[in-house]
Amino acid sequence: MVSYLSRFLYILADQKNKLFVLLALFLLTSTLDTFGIGLVGPFIALATAPDTIQTNSLLSQIYTWIGFSSTNQFISLIGLIIVIVFYVKSFLYFNVQEFIHKFSYNQQRELRVRLLHSYLSVPYTFHLHRNSADLVNTITSETMRFCYGVVNPLLNVAANIAVLCFLLILLLKTDLTATATILGILLLVFLPYYYARNKIAAWGMEASKAGSEMIRVINHSLGGLKETRVVGCEAYFEEQLDEQAKRHAEVATKFSAFKTLPRISIEALLITFLVGFTSIALLNEDGESITSTLGIFAMASIRLMPSVSQLVSAVSVLRNSSYTLNKLYVDLKELEEQETLRTHELQPRSNGSITNGSRSSHSSIRFHRDIVLDQLTYSYPNTSDPALRGISMTIRKGESIALIGKSGAGKTTLVDLILGLLIPDSGDIQVDGTSVYDDLRAWQNLVGYIPQSIFLMDDTVERNIAFGVPDHQIDYERLHKAIHAAQLNDLIEQLPDGVKTMVGERGVRFSGGQRQRVGIARALYHEREILVLDEATAALDNETESLVTEAIKSLSGTKTVIIIAHRLSTVQHCDCVYQMQHGRIVKSGSYEQVVLEEQAIG
pLDDT > 60? residue 351: no
Beta strands in 27-180 (DSSP E): none
- Asked if 294 and 405 sit in the same domain, the reply is no
Instruction: For residues 536-548, give the mean pLDDT.
Output: 60
Distance, in Å, from the CA atom of 432 to the CA atom of 369, rounded to the nearest integer, reads 6
Let me know whether 402 and 275 are in one domain. no
The alpha carbon of residue 455 and the mean position of all alpha carbons in its chain are separated, in whole angstroms, by 22
Which DSSP string do the residues of 267-311 spell out, in sequence order? Answer: HHHHHHHHHHHHHHHHHHS-GGGGHHHHHHHHHHHHHHHHHHHHH
Same domain, 27 and 120: yes
221 and 307: one domain?
yes
50 vs 343 pLDDT, higher one: 50
Closest CA to 535 of 565, 578, 571, 573: 565
Does residue 343 lie in a domain region? no
pTM across the whole model: 0.65
pLDDT in tens, 236-272: 788 888 888 898 888 888 887 777 776 677 666 767 7
Ranges of H-type helices in 362-429? 411-418
State how many domains the chain has.
2
Would you say residue 131 lies in a domain?
A: yes
Q: What average pLDDT does this structure show over 592-597?
A: 76
Rounded mean pLDDT of 513-533? 83
Element (H, E) at 426: strand 426-431
> Do 313 and 418 have their domain in common?
no
Q: Terminal CA-to-CA distance of the chain, rounded, Å?
A: 71
Q: What percent of the chain stands above pLDDT 90?
A: 5
Percent of the chain with pLDDT over 70: 77
Same domain, 264 and 411: no
What is the Rg, in whole angstroms, of the alpha carbon atoms belonging to the chain?
36
Least confident range of 222-236, 493-507, 560-574: 222-236
Task: Tell whether 406 and 277 lie within a shared domain.
Answer: no
Is residue 6 included in any domain, yes or no?
A: no
Residue 350 lies in a domain: no
Residue 448, strand partner residues: 531
Q: Are residues 504 and 589 in the same domain?
A: yes
- What's the burial of 243, exposed, middle or buried (CB within 10 Å: 0-12/13-18/19+)? middle
Instruction: Output the domain CATH number for residue 101.
Output: 1.20.1560.10
Q: Which of 316, 338, 360 represents a domain boundary (last residue)?
A: 338
Same domain, 407 and 329: no
- Is 410 in the same domain as 301? no
Residue 39 is assigned to a structural domain of this protein: yes
Average pLDDT of every residue of the chain: 77
Residue 266 counted as domain residue: yes
CA distance linking residue 527 with residue 478, whole number of Å: 9
Task: Flag whether 385 is in a domain.
Answer: no
pLDDT at 375: 92
CATH of residue 510's domain is 3.40.50.300
Which of 34-43, 86-95, 339-348 is predicted least confidently? 339-348
CB atoms under 10 Å from CB of 528, counted, come to 19
CB 436 within 8 A of CB 420: yes
The least confident of 182-186, 429-433, 516-520 is 182-186
Residue 349 DSSP class: S
| Within-domain flag for 191 | yes
What single DSSP character describes residue 432? T
Same domain membership, residue 142 and residue 25: yes
Which range, 218-222, 286-290, 329-333, has the best average confidence (pLDDT)? Answer: 329-333
Convert the pLDDT of each residue in 188-216 to its tens digit.
767 777 777 788 888 888 888 888 788 88
Name which of 474, 383, 367 is nearest 430 in CA terms. Answer: 367
The CA angle 162-165-167, to the nearest 5 degrees, is: 105
Q: What is the pLDDT of residue 60?
A: 77
- Looking at 338, 361, 379, which one is the last position of a domain? 338
Question: Domain range for residue 515?
Answer: 398-424+442-601
Would you say residue 344 has pLDDT above 60? no
The CA distances from residue 454 to 275, 315, 489, 510, in Å, are: 74, 48, 19, 11
Distance (Å, whole) CA 93 – CA 238: 47
Among 551, 11, 80, 593, CA closest to 328: 11
Q: Report CA-CA distances (Å) from 94 to 9, 90, 103, 487.
A: 25, 6, 14, 62
List Cβ neighbours of 513 (8 Å cut-off, separation of 6 or more). Answer: 540, 544, 545, 547, 548
Assess contact for 157 and 311: CB atoms under 8 A.
Answer: yes
- Give CA–CA dist 377/536, Å, rounded: 25
- Helix, strand and coil in the chain, % to nearest 5: 70, 10, 20
Identify the top-confidence range among 285-289, 347-351, 517-521, 539-543. Answer: 517-521
Q: Are 50 and 130 part of one and the same domain? A: yes
- pLDDT recorded at residue 282: 60
